[in-house]
Structure formats: structure tokens, C-alpha cells
């Protein structure tokens, strides 16, 4: 009898161990709050591959299709704004052949960012919309304040940040802060304070608000190889400043780049013809514009890259040295030193880009792109603080 119980016990323990070993990693994605398919016990997510019914590539493709990326999931919003822009341009052209492209593109990018980031349909491109009363356009004017006093403030902050903040100054006008505080309050209320399924920027910050802290990995890990985590308390100031950052960093950069692209297209008829031909051939194969088009329009991509080379919106980046560092040449930098990375200058260096003043998208087209030396073209910055919009 004892032997029988021992046998049953051993079988149970063996089953448990096998079950444990087979399923111990099944909560891998769940623990990290990453959308996933529930794995089956024996085969995980690759049952059809293991049973030799489908190739692994196809199974992975099918899984990925069920989880479109965030940007892809929001593409319909971008498309909607693009359609509105097209209608608006047509209407404006009927009235006058001269249109203020920069203003139109600012409205276009504002609409995209407000709908993708804040879930708000600002409708600034609706022909009945009163542009003068669009609050986002008014905020834009305040953010890109080009007055002399704003310039003095900007450089004082850059040169003496401790004194600047110590005296209670802030870079942006307080009204910008109040504006985004109200926007956020409205959006939070409409979502009843809980993250929705929209998966947009507001959802992200609602999750931070709920968790009360943000946890991230320390930048020093890159050097030490450690897994140090840092946490930050979440308060309204932090949430609002993130909104100002995403709005400020996203719209003007994009609108300016698009304006320069149009300017270069107007000056370079050959490039313009080639670009139009590429678009026409895309529409011969596809009825509407879809997210995947970004891979099917390499000449447009090359024109955008060439525009960003000639007119990098942030032509000078500042970095503060975190630890003493000696270059292979012997040049020593001390912790706390601030250095300027002259992107505009690097992009126009003839050693890297022959005849640098000439708009030549072919530099970024096809195989020629491979000849570009690393770190000679970085309009979106580089490293851990690289542009979020890239
Ligand atoms: C053509 C368009 C854009 C250009 C040229 C551009 C350029 C840049 C550059 C050069 C930086 C790095 C700044 C630094 O290193 O100090 C940056 C950072 C950033 N960009 Fe963009 N950007 C563009 C569009 C966008 C868009 C559409 C968004 C958001 C929707 C965005 C969000 C950000 C954010 C949040 C940062 C700060 C990242 C950090 O500090 O960790 N940008 N951008």
C-alpha cells in the first residue's frame, strides 16, 4: 500500500514539475504588461510550426498582425488629417494661387499631434473652423515666441541654468502650463481617470498617474552593465510638462521640415517630377494610402532626408558630460562640461556630403545611402536621448 501511495505521489510530483517547467515563462509578457497571445502549455505560440503545419515565419507574421504597432494603429488619424489638408489646399487654391504653406502645415501637424497624442479632434483644417480662435494655434505662437525678451531668456537659461531656475524663472509662459493642465483635466475626465484602449499618449500618462511613480533604467547601466532602476514620483507638474514637451517637440519640427521640403521641391523641378511619378505609380497599385507606404516610397523618403540634412531643425545639440572622459586624441572632458554638437555644420561638411549646398536626394536613395558615414547625418539626435518621433 505504502508503495502505491509513493507511486501516486511520485507521479503527481513529476506532473507538477513538468507542468512548472513548461509554463514557468508563460507570464513573461504579462509581467511586463506587453500585449501578447496566451501560450498553450506544450507548444507556446508555435503550435502550428512544431506540428509542421506552417512555417515559423508565417506564424510570427500572423501573431504580429494581431498587434499592430502604436503608430500603425493611429495611422487612420494621420490619414484623416491628410485628407482634410488636401481638401483645404484645393479650396484655398480656388480663391488664390498664393497660399501660406507654413501656416497650413502647422495646422496639419497640430491636428495630427492633438489627435494621436491627446485624443482630441481639433479640426483646425475644417473650412468652417475659425483659425483665429484655435487655442492650439495660439499656444503655438507662445511656444515659438521669437521676441527679443524670449531670446534673452532662452540664452540665460542655457548659460546659467541653476541661477535661472533658482530665481523661479521658467522657459515657457505660465499660460502654456495652464492651457495643458485644462486640456489634460478634460481628457482625464472623459476617460474617467482610467487608461482606455486607445493606447495613446494620454493613456500612457494616465498609467503613470495611477501607479504614482515612473520606473526606468539608469543611463549609467550602458557603461557599467548593471541593471539599476530609477524611480520618479508622479505629480501633475510632471504630467503637464510631458504634454508641453510632446506638443512642443512634435509639431513645429515637423511643420518646419515639411515647409522646407516644399520649398526645395519648388526649386528643383526634376526632383519634383520624380517624386510625383513615384506617388502616381503607388496609386496605380494601391487605392488608398496606407501605413505600409512608408516602405514603398523611397524617393520621397530620400527627399525628406535630404531636406533634414540641409535644414536640421535643431542644428545644434547640447550635452552635459556625465563623467570625466578622455578622447583617443588625448582631449579631456570634465564631468559637468557642456558641449555643443554642431549638426548643421556636420551635415554641410563637403568631406561627408560633396557639394553640400546642393539639394540632391540621390545621396539617400538606393545603394548610395549605404555610403553615408555613421554619425555624419543625425537630424533626430543620437543615443539614449534620440528623438521620440524618429
Ligand atoms: C522632422 C521632425 C522632427 C525632428 C527634426 C526632430 C528632432 C529632434 C532632435 C534633434 C531631438 C534631440 C534633442 C537633443 O538631443 O537634445 C529630438 C528629441 C525629441 N523629439 Fe523630436 N523631432 C521631430 C519630430 C518629433 C515628433 C513628431 C515628436 C513627437 C510626437 C518628437 C518628440 C521628441 C521628444 C519627446 C524628444 C525628447 C527625447 C528625449 O529627450 O528623451 N519629435 N527631436
Residues 128 and 37 in one domain: no
Among 221, 236, 267, the domain boundary falls at 267
CB atoms within 10 A of CB 321: 13
The reply to whether 11 falls in a domain is no
pLDDT tens digits, one per residue of 177-197: 888 888 888 888 887 777 776
The reply to whether 6 falls in a domain is no
Cell numbers found for residue 361: 536626394
Q: What is the pLDDT of residue 348?
A: 97
Q: Residue 213 pairs with which residues in a beta bridge?
A: 233
Residues 79 and 200 in one domain: yes
Dist. CA 99–CA 92, nearest whole Å:
7
Q: How many angstroms does the Cα of residue 387 sit away from the middle of ligand 1?
A: 4
Q: Answer for the pair 293, 299: CB distance below 8 angstroms, yes or no.
A: no
Residues 199 and 54 in one domain: no
What is the phi/psi pair of residue 210, to 5°? Answer: -65, -45
Q: Is 313 in the pocket of ligand 1 (CB under 6 A)?
A: yes
Q: Is the pLDDT of residue 262 over 90?
A: yes
Residues 252 and 285 in one domain: no
Residues 56 and 171 in one domain: no
The reply to whether 8 falls in a domain is no
Residues 260 and 277 in one domain: no
The reply to whether 14 falls in a domain is no
Strands 338-341 and 325-326: unpaired
Residue with cell 517630377: 273
Q: Is the pLDDT of residue 265 over 90?
A: yes
The reply to whether 379 falls in a domain is yes
Atom of ligand 1 nearest to the CA of 319: 16
- Tally the domains of the chain: 3
Q: Does the annotation flag 156 for ligand binding? A: no
Mutate to test the pocket of ligand 1, among 338, 341, 387 (most ligand atoms within 8 A of CB): 387
> Between the ranges 29-43, 135-149, 375-389, where is the mean pLDDT highest?
375-389
Average pLDDT over residues 156-184: 88
The reply to whether 91 falls in a domain is yes
Residues 187 and 150 in one domain: yes
Contacts of 210 by beta carbon, 8 Å cutoff, 6+ apart: 193, 194, 195
Residues 166 and 257 in one domain: yes
Q: Is the pLDDT of residue 216 over 90?
A: no
Dist. CA 386–CA 390, nearest whole Å:
8
Q: Is the pLDDT of residue 33 over 80?
A: no
Pick the more confident residue, 258 or 176: 258
Q: What is the pLDDT of residue 378?
A: 96
Q: How many angstroms does the Cα of residue 251 sit away from the middle of ligand 1?
A: 10
Burial class of residue 11 in the structure, from the number of CB atoms within 10 Å of its CB (0-12 exposed, 13-18 middle, 19+ buried): exposed
Residue 297 banded pLDDT, cuts 50, 70, 90: very high
The reply to whether 370 falls in a domain is yes
Q: What is the pLDDT of residue 307?
A: 98
Residue with cell 526649386: 267
Residues 173 and 285 in one domain: no
The reply to whether 13 falls in a domain is no
Dist. CA 88–CA 123, nearest whole Å:
12
Q: 144: domain range? A: 71-267
Q: Is 314 in the pocket of ligand 1 (CB under 6 A)?
A: yes
Among 224, 249, 267, the domain boundary falls at 267
Residues 138 and 279 in one domain: no
Q: Is the pLDDT of residue 284 over 90?
A: yes
Q: Answer for the pair 201, 117: CB distance below 8 angstroms, yes or no.
A: yes
pLDDT tens digits, one per residue of 233-261: 888 888 888 888 888 888 889 999 999 99
Atom of ligand 1 nearest to the CA of 385: 41
Dist. CA 23–CA 17, nearest whole Å:
10
Residues 137 and 165 in one domain: yes
Q: How many angstroms does the Cα of residue 139 sit away from the middle of ligand 1?
A: 19
Q: Is 257 in the pocket of ligand 1 (CB under 6 A)?
A: yes
Residues 26 and 159 in one domain: no
Minimal-distance CA residue to ligand 1 atom 40: 385
DSSP designation for 131: G
Among 267, 294, 311, the domain boundary falls at 267
Strands 338-341 and 317-320: antiparallel
Dist. CA 202–CA 20, nearest whole Å:
38
CATH of the domain at 227: 1.10.630.10
Q: Taking the model in full, what pTM does it have?
A: 0.81
Amino acid at each position: 500500500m505504502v508503495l502505491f501511495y509513493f507511486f501516486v505521489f511520485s507521479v503527481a510530483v513529476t506532473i507538477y514539475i513538468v507542468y512548472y517547467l513548461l509554463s514557468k515563462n508563460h507570464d513573461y509578457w504579462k509581467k511586463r504588461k506587453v500585449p501578447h497571445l496566451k501560450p498553450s502549455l506544450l507548444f507556446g505560440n508555435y503550435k502550428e510550426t512544431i506540428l509542421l503545419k506552417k512555417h515559423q515565419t508565417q506564424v510570427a507574421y500572423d501573431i504580429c498582425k494581431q498587434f499592430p504597432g502604436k503608430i500603425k494603429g493611429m495611422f487612420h488619424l494621420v490619414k484623416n488629417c491628410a485628407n482634410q489638408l488636401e481638401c483645404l489646399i484645393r479650396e484655398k487654391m480656388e480663391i488664390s494661387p498664393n497660399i501660406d504653406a507654413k501656416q497650413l502645415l502647422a495646422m496639419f501637424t497640430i491636428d495630427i499631434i492633438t489627435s494621436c497624442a491627446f485624443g482630441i479632434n481639433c479640426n483646425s483644417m475644417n473650412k468652417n473652423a475659425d483659425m483665429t480662435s484655435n487655442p492650439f494655434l495660439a499656444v503655438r505662437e507662445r511656444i515659438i515666441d521669437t521676441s527679443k525678451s524670449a531670446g534673452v531668456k532662452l540664452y540665460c537659461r542655457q548659460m546659467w541654468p541653476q541661477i535661472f531656475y533658482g530665481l523661479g524663472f521658467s522657459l515657457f509662459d505660465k499660460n502654456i502650463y495652464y492651457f495643458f493642465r485644462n486640456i489634460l483635466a478634460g481628457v482625464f475626465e472623459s476617460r474617467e481617470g482610467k487608461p482606455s484602449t486607445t493606447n495613446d499618449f494620454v493613456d500612457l500618462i494616465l498609467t503613470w498617474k495611477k501607479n504614482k511613480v515612473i520606473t526606468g533604467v539608469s543611463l549609467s547601466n550602458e557603461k557599467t552593465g548593471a541593471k539599476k532602476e530609477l524611480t520618479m514620483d508622479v505629480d501633475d507638474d510632471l504630467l503637464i510638462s510631458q504634454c508641453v514637451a510632446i506638443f512642443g517637440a512634435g509639431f513645429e519640427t515637423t511643420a518646419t521640415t515639411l515647409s522646407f521640403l516644399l520649398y526645395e521641391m519648388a526649386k528643383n523641378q526634376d526632383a519634383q517630377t520624380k517624386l510625383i511619378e513615384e506617388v502616381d505609380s503607388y496609386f496605380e497599385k494601391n487605392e488608398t494610402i496606407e501605413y505600409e507606404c512608408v516602405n514603398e516610397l523611397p524617393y520621397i523618403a530620400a527627399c525628406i532626408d535630404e531636406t533634414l540634412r540641409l535644414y536640421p531643425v535643431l542644428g545644434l545639440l547640447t550635452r552635459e558630460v556625465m563623467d570625466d572622459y578622455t578622447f583617443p586624441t588625448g582631449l579631456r572632458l570634465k564631468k559637468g562640461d557642456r558641449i555643443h554638437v554642431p549638426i548643421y555644420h556636420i551635415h554641410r561638411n563637403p568631406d561627408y556630403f560633396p557639394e553640400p549646398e546642393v539639394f540632391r536626394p540621390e545621396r539617400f536613395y538606393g545603394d548610395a545611402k549605404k555610403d553615408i558615414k555613421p554619425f555624419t547625418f543625425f537630424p533626430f539626435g543620437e543615443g539614449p536621448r534620440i528623438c521620440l518621433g524618429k
